[in-house]
Amino acid sequence: MSEMLRAPAEVKYADELDYLESVDTGPKPFSWRLSPRMVRLFVLGSERADGLEREIPQKWFGDRSFVERSIVTLASDRGLLLIGDPGTGKSWLAELLSAAICRNSTLVVQGTAGTTEDHIKYSWNVSMVIAKGQSRESMIPSPIMTAMEQGVVGRFEELTRSTSDVQDALISILSEKYVSIPELSDDNIVFAQPGFSIIATANSRDRGVNDLSSALKRRFNFVRIPVVTNKRSEAEIVRFRTEELLRRHRIELDVPPTLLDILLQSFADLRAAAASATSDDEKLESALSTAEQIGVLEDAILHSQFFGDRALRVETLASSLVGSLARRSPEDLAILNKYLHGVVEPRAKKNGEGWGGFLDGGRQAIASLS
């Protein structure tokens, strides 16, 4: 198989999934490839008490109860809606669950303002329709319909970004578990096979864009994924993602613990400032999520590799932070400048340990963007 820029979870962790399937003796709902216990173990990692001959690393970092509730929901064949701020790992959790349950996480519909009912039901191959007329052969099933026919998990990303007409089309799929094809006289109903379910994600910051109807809400079990604020958990996530990045780019680099501490502390400081702000103008446009921390670190690492001496320096980290978070000018630049002078400068004078270099790098980055 040719190398992929980003392999889906079922390909990336195929060896682990094969192993777990070979030792899994638990009851499996519907056509699941793994039992609920093994699905949880695949997502959250193994412990010594699990008695496995090989270690299964943790892939999603968050409250265990969120994962367990998600698995129970899917085992009941109800729709699962993962809702939370940007960068909280909703899509990654959905992908891992799909990979573990049915070894296919790629049946995805991306919700946008341009998503239509055809994207979640079916469309037609126009040339085949002209040549032979409408038939099941000339029909193009959506990823959701394909999931129904195969009895696997379909995914709907950013559900609240799609219009109410598209959302309403999901109601009959989730409640009736079939799709009618009125254009056909025969073989005109696609029934969902056992194991079919839908995992949807929604951005809590999109509230008011296209709110879900009460009818659609009743068809989903909600699991709210909070922003990770525990420094230890957040550090584990950043390390996990950074190691993946380094492997992908074949970069040999140890991220100094001091730099990681500075990155985590700077985001904690900026979140605290946003929480105490009295208006949107006093808040960064960024959600300050863990995913954005990873993006800042990735930018700094690649910049160091391509345009530096391959050693990750705190000045480069500060420059990447400013470049990534300053999306509005002059508002965001003013907020970051206030943070550097009001928080970082006193901290640098008091204990140093990299904060002096972080201050210098941040000032230079702001000056270049001003």
Q: Residue 2: which pLDDT band, with cuts at 50, 70 and 90?
A: low
Residue 325 CB burial class (10 angstroms; 0-12, 13-18, ≥19): buried
Per-residue pLDDT for 318 more than 80? yes
Q: How far is CA 296 from CA 269, 271, 319, 341, in A?
A: 16, 15, 9, 21
pLDDT in tens, 43-84: 999 998 888 999 999 999 888 999 999 999 999 978 999 998
Say what the pLDDT of residue 92 is.
Answer: 93
138, pLDDT greater than 70: yes
- pLDDT category at 143 given cuts 50, 70, 90 is very high
pLDDT at 168: 86
Residue 329 to residues 139, 271, 296: CA-CA distances in angstroms?
A: 49, 19, 19
Those residues whose C-beta lies under 8 Å from the C-beta of residue 195, and which sit 6 or more positions away, are 29, 30, 31, 32, 101, 102, 151, 152, 153
- pTM summary value: 0.83
Distance CA 83, CA 155 (A): 14
C-alpha dist (Å) from residue 347 to 167, 320, 323, 334, 362: 50, 20, 22, 19, 14
Which pLDDT does position 5 carry in this prediction? 77
Q: What is the pLDDT of residue 308?
A: 75
When comparing pLDDT for 334 and 235, which is higher?
Answer: 334
Q: Is the pLDDT of residue 20 over 80?
A: yes
CB-facing half-sphere around the CA of 62: CA atoms within 13 A:
24
Structure tokens at 183: 């254009």
pLDDT at 207: 59
What does the pLDDT look like over 171-207, one tens digit per residue?
A: 889 999 999 999 998 889 999 999 999 999 998 766 5
| Spatial distance between the Cα atoms of 88 and 227, rounded to a whole number of angstroms | 6
pLDDT at 44: 95
Residue 351 pLDDT: 73
What confidence score (pLDDT) does residue 278 get? Answer: 82
Q: What is the pLDDT of residue 329?
A: 77
Instruction: Please check the confidence at residue 88 and state whether its pLDDT lies above 90.
Output: no
